Amino acid sequence: MNIIDELQEIYKEAEDLISNVKKESQLDDTKNLFIGKKGKLSLISKKMGNLDIEERKQVGQKINEISENLEKLIIIKRDSIKDEELNLLLEREKFDVLQPRKHRESGTLHPITSVQMEVEDIFVSMGFEVMDGPEIETDYNNFEALNFTEDHPARDMQDTFYTDDGNLLRTHTSAIQVRALKILKPPFRIIAPGRVFRYEEIDASHENTFNQVEGMVVGKNISVANLTYTMNQLLSQIFNKETIVRLRPGYFPFVEPGFELDFQCMVCEGKGCSVCKHSGWVELLPCGLIHPNVLKFAGLDPEIWTGFAFGLGLDRLVMMRYGISDIRYFNSGNLRFLKKFL
């Protein structure tokens, strides 16, 4: 057998071994067996010294050709082995992200959402209608129509976030009351729950994003007695117990007279804590009789129609109900906190 025939036999043997290899480590061993420094092709190269120039040229070309072909076969086989290994891995570890979990944790409503729904039910039972409005409001609806003039100092108390087109993130859901006055004919009773925004210094009892339930009643001969009765009905049903409340004078441009309605802190039972700023009382809502100017803006005669309005701080109400000491928990996204309300 001449050297060319011997090379053909070596190539055929290598081709068969490469095709039957199952692992990369075996493929490396096969490569070393044939084209390594001590492989079969290297041994053939050492015999070339006994050949004449023409034969040496032919054998050298054949060795190079076989070596290149084997390199290509090894690369193809290596890719094939990697693909097979990946497919096996994917098959073993297959996981369908759309497949429902066998053991799913039960979800729950956020405590603010849950209490808001209760508040809505209580007011609906008293004949109120629930209304909604946009979170991005006009300056007119948020301030001017509520008796905040452009240079009114009370605007500083409700500093907010403005958009490039001159609108703003509403500071209270009283803006929904302005919309209600435009579309409803008195007498009527409405509440307006929703999220509001203010540029606040955040602490245990203040957030820049929080929730309110504004309320408004418009009719004839409405008095402060109607207001306090409505608030007592709400609080007694929310807490299922008698609550201690107080009215103190307060100034708000859209009511006259205006009051702050506070109730005794239920976290510390009036002893003083971070929630009530160690006063024993928590400010629940501003309220009062609707200012005549607000009724005039809506085209109503204040000599005929009167009413009361209030703005309930929903976050603080929830804090009192569940004994939550820090308002920042509500927007924290902390699942350990939310799981307490399952």
Model confidence over 294-319: pLDDT tens digits? 888 888 999 999 999 998 889 988 88
> Does residue 239 fall inside a structural domain?
yes
Closest CA to 66 of 7, 5, 6, 2: 7
CATH number of the domain residue 211 falls in: 3.30.930.10
CB 243 within 8 A of CB 263: yes
Same domain, yes or no, for 308 and 252? yes
Closest CA to 308 of 221, 185, 250: 221
Say which residue the tokens 């001159």 belong to: 166
> Does residue 106 fall inside a structural domain?
no
> Does residue 75 fall inside a structural domain?
yes
Q: Does residue 92 have a pLDDT over 70?
A: yes
> 259 has which bridge partners?
249, 287
Q: What's the domain count of the chain?
A: 2
Same domain, yes or no, for 71 and 128? no
pLDDT in tens, 134-175: 999 988 888 888 777 676 666 666 677 888 888 988 988 888
> Does residue 276 fall inside a structural domain?
yes
> Does residue 105 fall inside a structural domain?
no
pLDDT score at 154: 62
pLDDT band of 1, cuts 50, 70, 90 = low
pLDDT band of 118, cuts 50, 70, 90 = very high
pLDDT score at 303: 92
What's the rounded Cα separation, in Å, for the pair 319 and 232? Answer: 18
pLDDT score at 194: 92
Same domain, yes or no, for 76 and 157? no
Closest CA to 285 of 323, 259, 320, 257: 259
> Does residue 307 fall inside a structural domain?
yes
Same domain, yes or no, for 83 and 116? no
Domain boundary among 37, 60, 92: 92
Q: Is the pTM of this model over 0.85?
A: no
**From residue 202, how far is each of 72, 156, 279, 327, 331 by CA, in Å?**
67, 17, 19, 9, 12
Q: What percent of the chain has pLDDT over 90?
A: 18
Same domain, yes or no, for 74 and 118? no
Q: Most confidently modeled of 27-31, 32-36, 83-87, 210-214? A: 210-214
Domain boundary among 92, 121, 141: 92
Q: Summarize the chain as % helix, strand, coil (round to 5).
A: 45, 20, 35
pLDDT in tens, 234-259: 888 888 877 778 888 988 888 888 99
Q: Which domain holds residue 13?
A: 3-92
Q: Does residue 187 have a pLDDT over 90?
A: yes
Q: Does residue 80 have a pLDDT over 70?
A: yes
Instruction: Over range 43-50, report the average pLDDT.
Output: 75
pLDDT score at 158: 66
What's the rounded Cα separation, in Å, for the pair 258 and 291? Answer: 9
> Does residue 98 fall inside a structural domain?
no
pLDDT band of 125, cuts 50, 70, 90 = very high
